[in-house]
Chain A
Amino acid sequence: MANCPLDGYRVTDFSWVWAGPLLGMILADMGAEVIKVETKKRLDSARLTPGRSTVGPETDFVFHSMNRNKLGITVDMSDPRGAALIRELVEISDVAVENFSPKGLRNLGLEYASLREVNPKLIMISLPAAGQYGPLSDIVTYAPSLGALCGYSSLIGYPGERVLGEQTPYLDVNSAIHGAFAVLAALYYRERTGKGQYIDMAQIEVGASTIGEAFMEYFMNGRVMGTMGNRNPAMAPHNNYPCKGDDKWISIVVKTDGEWRSFCDAIGNPPWAKEVRFSDGFNRLRNQDELDRLVSGWTVEFTYYEVMDILQKAGVASAPCLDLTERFSDPHFEERGTHLQVEHPATGVDIIAGLPFTLSETPGAVRRPAPLLGEHNEYVFGKLLGKTGEEIAQLIEDKVIY
């Protein structure tokens, strides 16, 4: 049996930056042959992460992690002959992934209606910011502006304080994961029925889907949720607390009265823990500012791993707030393989993200490093599309393969 669940499937991925390429990465990690389309005319900004070690487009470690397991070709899609090459590739692919603006996609002649003609069984997913139609459909966004437009950012900030907004690429990754599911569901349908289809995914809609509770509060009661910090409407303590050392924090959640008693025992039953104002969930929620201060008074005496050990032994949920390097040296993550070392021709050995899932029979694997620019042009244009050496040479000279 194949080692990877999507062995034998082919994906043409002409998306760029974060959401589309991460969707492609999930499919590639599952074993699909994912052909990433790039162009020297305009490098994917993911190849240009600022940093000491990024000395050129082949040495970007973030790019290496996000694009492992993929093949790489270079095509200038704005040239009609380049767009034609993509159509030829799509003809022999199962899935196409893109995140151009709808107008941009139409200008290239690569919208679904035209790709379906060359491959009626194609499953194609578009994941621009706001979808294929609607007043916002041609908007250019970055992850922070996605958060602004879908309501998510309005929830990020300290309780009752200013909006800080989502500053990370969180919503891009959210889109990639949901998009991978939608593609695989469509693929499942196609395997049963032979029918392909088009998936119009608006990143702002996928973002809104993960804050469903906030919309229900509004539709039910007309209340608009705002910034809540780490607070939870049903649980206290529920926060990140300071620990020994510089900028070290521990997350602690106490849900039930049973867990509260265990927590009090674990921290040595200080007198304040027995006060009536912390005696049940309702009281703890009402007095959580003071509760947080008192809990901090305890946590600050210990390192964050010490707190986790003490509390988890007592059956209380607690985990340190880890940073990049700290995750790398955490024993649990090491055993789980959340970071992998992979050889790359341009950089030696990279540390890249591990697979986000574990399958017992067909685990998927990192089979190859991220591609060099155009590394697989020969294989894709020569072997897969059957072009002759002369044809390829001409396309290179004309900067179509570029």
Chain B
Amino acid sequence: MGEQALSGLKIVECGSFISAPYCTKLMADLGAEVIKVEEPGSGDESRRCGPFPNDAPHLERSGLFLYLNTNKLGITLNVKTRTGQKILKELLKEADVFVENNPPQRMAALGLDYSTLKKLNPRLIVTSITPYGQTGPYKDYKGYALNTAALGGQSMRTGEPNREPLAPALAQSHYQSGSMGAAATFGALISRMSSGPGQHVDISESDVWATIHLGHGVHLGVFEGRKAIRAGHRTISVYPWCILPCKDGYMCLIAIQGYQWKRFLEAMGNPEWMADPRFRDRIAMAWEYADEVDSLVEAWLIEHTKEEIFEMCRERQITFAPVRDIAEVAHDPHFEERGYFVEIDRSGTGTLKYPGAPYKLSETPWQLRRPAPLLGEHNEEIYCGRLGYSKEDLVRLRQGGII
């Protein structure tokens, strides 16, 4: 297997669920060595989240865990114990990066706060991913993905007016903080190459929403009183900008340029209603009588399938797109030609398909070196092979509840 972009980089992860594990998955998938530290017995909590094959829960068969922890080595270690903390520090002494997503208070209580780790290894980069950051009045507050998306402002932009705002799908908050953590970590690594010291990377999940995602409109909000408008299946701007039902699902209709809307009317066979000048004023259509136009368009859409409509639009360079569901994307010839979904064989599940590389690097491509680790799979390799413990030591450590 060829050298990868991040070969030789040593990363230790004390992460659970999604944000920190996704952060180090991005690094592991490009060749970094990631040692994932899990609690003995139970492991990362994502092992208990589905999906599971045939809905049968099993610590070694969680789809979420398997996806997020490809290419990592796995060890068990109870970091609540003094011995566990000592062993972790042995690993951190030789590491380049430490990624964790624990509450700041907990890290301090475990003697693993940044100032302690900095003394241990001044070149270590510590990346801490938390809901609200290491500082600020909310730093010790609890926050799950739903909460950080709410505070950060993303939820107020989705949903129907007068109904509860909708958070992004599944756990987007954690994927955003995880990927931002990876980018910021590498900024720190590159800086370290020229000038030595490590540093503390503080990623606040709600800050990520509030800044790069949603911070650019704040001036307009403060000085023009702009508010986020939740308009359900549409965005009120120019018509069309909406999701409408068709024969077998939904279409995403969006046409920034007027000529595309005109072409679509032609493709629909120039319906009679388009003669009415009201249906040429795309701003009025969006702001004043969108429901009416929607029903007129829907009457045609309901006779055609997504893919029929999509093909018709592609031929005419109309920028509408089919709202594909998960199965359709999984079988999409485009994704297939690009080899996006990859097969991974793993004990306990057999061969399964997974989402693969989010990007293609020409010299050092994404590679699968190993599937997600079994709980404690690499205990011997790391503790005995690297840290010099004997097999008898391992037995004692296990009996003592350390590993």
Contact = CB atoms under 8 A, between A and B. Distances in A.
B243 interface: yes
B221 A324 contact: yes
A26 B158 contact: no
A351 B326 contact: no
B233 interface: yes
A163 interface: yes
Interface stretch (A239-247, A270-278, A372-380, A389-397): A239-247
A38 interface: no
B326 A215 contact: yes
Interface in A174-194: 174, 176-182, 184-189, 191-192
Contacts of B166: 156-158, 164, 229-230, 240
B139 to A, nearest CB: 8
Nearest to B322: A148
B316 to A, nearest CB: 12
Nearest to B328: A151
Contacts of B142: 253, 312, 315-318
A189 to B, nearest CB: 4
B204 interface: yes
Contacts of A339: 210, 215, 218
A167 to B, nearest CB: 5
Contacts of B249: 163
22 contacts: A145-B321, A148-B324, A149-B329, A157-B166, A158-B159, A163-B323, A182-B359, A200-B362, A211-B170, A212-B355, A213-B51, A216-B67, A218-B326, A220-B53, A221-B53, A239-B164, A319-B147, A320-B151, A324-B227, A324-B228, A327-B214, A332-B138
Interface string B149-190: 111111111111011111111111001100111111011111
A195 B154 CA distance: 39
Interface string A224-260: 1110111011110011111000010111010100000
A119 interface: no
Contacts of A90: none
Contact of B5 (A155, A188, A215, A253): A188
Contact of A136 (B225, B251, B334): B334
A71 interface: no
B156 A213 contact: no
A130 B340 CA distance: 11
Contacts of B243: 144, 148, 153, 162-165
Given A148-B322, A181-B186, A332-B132, A209 B155 contact: no
Interface residues of B, number: 154
A37 interface: no
Given A112-B362, A131-B360, 6 more contacts: A51-B220, A142-B254, A205-B340, A216-B352, A319-B147, A336-B207
Contact of B324 (A131, A151, A174): A151
Given A65-B219, A208-B340, A356-B211, A170 B154 contact: yes
B326 A251 contact: no
A215 B186 contact: no
Given A151-B324, A251-B155, A324-B153, A219 B360 contact: no
Interface in A3-46: 4-8, 22, 25-26, 30, 45
B335 to A, nearest CB: 7
B354 to A, nearest CB: 7
A331 interface: yes
Nearest to A239: B164
A118 B222 CA distance: 46
A234 B323 contact: no
A360 B64 contact: no
Interface stretch (B71-79, B191-199, B393-401): B191-199
A323 to B, nearest CB: 5
A317 B144 contact: yes
Contact of A206 (B220, B359, B364): B359
Interface in B355-396: 355, 357-364
B323 A325 contact: no
Nearest to A329: B222
Contacts of A354: 207, 210-211, 215
A362 interface: yes
A199 interface: yes
A137 to B, nearest CB: 8
Given A162-B233, A205-B340, A322-B150, A249 B165 contact: yes
A240 B133 contact: no
A149 B320 CA distance: 10
Contacts of B68: 212
A57 B180 CA distance: 30
B111 interface: no
Contacts of A52: 224
B40 interface: no
**Which of B179, B207, B218, B226 has most A Cβ within 10 Å?**
B218
A185 B337 contact: no
B138 to A, nearest CB: 4
Contacts of A251: 146-147, 149-151, 155, 167
Nearest to A68: B216
B195 A177 contact: no
A241 B164 contact: yes
B235 A338 contact: no
A152 interface: yes
A170 B168 contact: yes
Contacts of A327: 151-153, 210, 214, 218
B186 A325 contact: no
**Which of B64, B151, B234, B354 has most A Cβ within 10 Å?**
B151
A220 B167 CA distance: 26
A226 B170 CA distance: 11
B88 interface: no
A268 interface: no
B210 A211 contact: no
A164 B321 contact: no
Given A249-B165, A324-B218, A319 B141 contact: yes
Given A158-B163, A167-B234, A197 B363 contact: yes
A182 B334 contact: no
A214 interface: yes
A325 B223 CA distance: 9
